[in-house]
Amino acid sequence: MDYGFYEKKIEIRHSIESEGIPHTYICCNFFMRYLLPSLVQPGLDAPPRDEIKIFGEGNTKGVFVKENDVAKFTICTIEDPRTLNKTLYLRPPGNVFSMNELADLWESKLKKSLKRCSISLEDGFNLYIFSVC
């Protein structure tokens, strides 16, 4: 269920590779600045205080990284011949969380339990898309 998000990426990658352009792809999942301030809650600017939406079963993990860290990592790859024409995955182990784990961490900080509402991945996607458009 990618709703065509990756079609353009795939097209660009195929063009780069078929033209023989030297490249290094860096995959890093999510930028913290966009998703963590609201705990991945569509339409919110701050973490929820009473209720949290859990997408699907909430066990799929995502990697949350700071843009500055991605930039530093990217700069380190420029002169490193081992990275040429490769795909690198930036996944610091301490930055990998599921929705349930994020909710658990937030509840421990709040010192209270939140009502957890499970919503389908498709409904969650639609909520997110319509909240940012």
Q: Which helix (H) or strand (E) holds 50?
A: none
CA 125, CA 27: separation in Å to the nearest integer?
21
Taking the CA atoms of 39, 44, 50 and 52 in sequence, report the sign of the dihedral they define: negative
- Known catalytic residues are 9
Q: Could you tell me the pTM of the whole model? A: 0.74
User: Domains along the chain?
Assistant: 24-132 (3.90.25.10)
Mapped onto helix, strand or coil, the DSSP state of residue 126 is helix
pLDDT tens per residue, range 59-90: 999 899 999 999 999 999 999 999 999 999 99
CA 118, CA 116: separation in Å to the nearest integer?
6
CB atoms within 10 A of CB 80: 11
